[in-house]
Structure 1
Amino acid sequence: MASTGAEVDAGFEFAFDNEIFSDKVLRIEVAAGSGDAPGSDAGAASRKRRREGDEGDDEEGIDSSCTVMGTPILQVKTIHVSSVILAAKSSFFLKLFSNGMKESGQTQATVRIADSEENAFMELLGFMYSGKLTPTEPTLLLDILMAADKFEVVSCMKLCGQRLIDLPMNLESAVRCLDLPCCISMAAALQEAAQKFFAESERYKKFPEFQDELMRIPFLGIMAILTRNDLEVASEVAAYDFVIRWACSWYPNSEESRRILSSFLIPTVSIHKANTLLSDFIQSMKSILKQ
């Protein structure tokens, strides 16, 4: 029996962008800018609005442009698609083709994506026909995961999540996993894997070395580093200086940065400093007892 999220051979590769086996033309408008790109706050907001709208009157339909409204169009692609295949894999396309909007009665439907989403979206379309994912690069898999969430392709979301958990993490993929919106499928498991990466990586054992990298790491990653048992704190002054700069950079609001510092970061640094002092004291006592 296939495991959850495993690849399946859908067997429809031959029909992809094949006019003979297609009943629709999908017009893909590629817009400038990151817009509602994978991982952006705007993307999470649009998904939330779309899902809230789905709970209301179906007659209001669905926003077929999906993203990046009001931005310049860089290029337009058209591909031949089967509405049955897309609707079978994607709740978004099921609603797009069946809810009474103009797209459901016409031979052409339009979606608008950001240029940063283009590769991921094309991989997602291929997955809906084949049931397979060829990319193995973590950042591209994360892009595909976000696209699959936006277009509601649950099987692809599960497969991307499992692939990402099985693959070794790097700094970029771990940071992006920590920033995944909680509404994303498998977000909790991916965040846990990312925290484990920061908690066990030898690179971040000595704190606060590699400060340029550390400044890019979000809160959960910094906490994973600060609370690791084998952390070596260079000096109390250096650690305090770093966590203050990090908090001010990530939380420009002074009240919020103060809360993060006083509630989490500075107490953690102090604990490690206390542990260092205790370790030095124990070593000194051992030396005295040996005399």
Structure 2
Amino acid sequence: MKLLRVGPAGAERPAVLGPDGTAYDLSGRTRDIDGAFLAGLDRAATAALAAEAASGALPRIDLDGLRIGAPVARPGKVVGIGLNYRDHAAEAGAAIPAEPVVFLKPSNTVVGPNDTVLIPRGAEKTDYEAELAVVIGRTARYLESDAEAAAVVAGYTTANDVTERAFQHERGGQWDKGKSAETFTPLGPWLVTADEVGDPQRLPLRLWVNGALRQDGSTADMIFPVLETVRYLSRFMVLEPGDVVVTGTPAGVTLGHPGASFLRPGDIVELEVGDLGRQRQLLGSA
């Protein structure tokens, strides 16, 4: 099942996509696609919503010209995983990490998949990172197995973990500085429930800048797979419904393209992860 949020920023309506791509309004079923909704989205609830969408029992939404917001409202936290692909670690000149590299992004970095990404003031090396994002649907504490980790995953979506490299590497080596600017986590367009995605380690990731392919990888190449990552994180923090984990990026960031320019106002970034939907962002100035 594909869940989405549509409408002006701050006033999005929850919706579900039917099998034919028609959007149906979920406002009569939930206030929003947030942690409280996801916590109750078990197999039975998912099946019931999918059946309602398939039958046309819900009010339709005409998506033509309508903004698509991030598919999760107000995530409590966004947890990032760095250097999680061998080829990306190599292009960054970094050793393969022995354990996941963890950083946090403020929840107010999250915007819709096609919203403008703002290059922060003083930035010099703004970069892109196509990533698979995991959306948490159950509270996770001290998970012991991949099966337990799978049980807390509500679904998956596409993310662009935008990063200002100068802030990240040249201002004290604190990754959060380079990851935390407003608009730096475009999410969506859809949250695809875990049952529909199947194996999250078989998804292609691609990203283009101004029409030129920059990244072309696969989640099969992760150093720390999705479920291992979720299990690992639960040892150090409580993951809660609505939290988002962005799981790392493959090779092809600007650092891996000698001579390529970092992102500038007016550039267009497009990306996709498997069948989780496509993003398109115009770069602007803060």
Which TM-score band applies after superposition, normalised by the shorter structure? under 0.3
Higher strand share: 2
Higher relative contact order (CA 8 A, sep 6+): 2
Task: Calculate the TM-score normalised by the size of structure 2.
Answer: 0.24
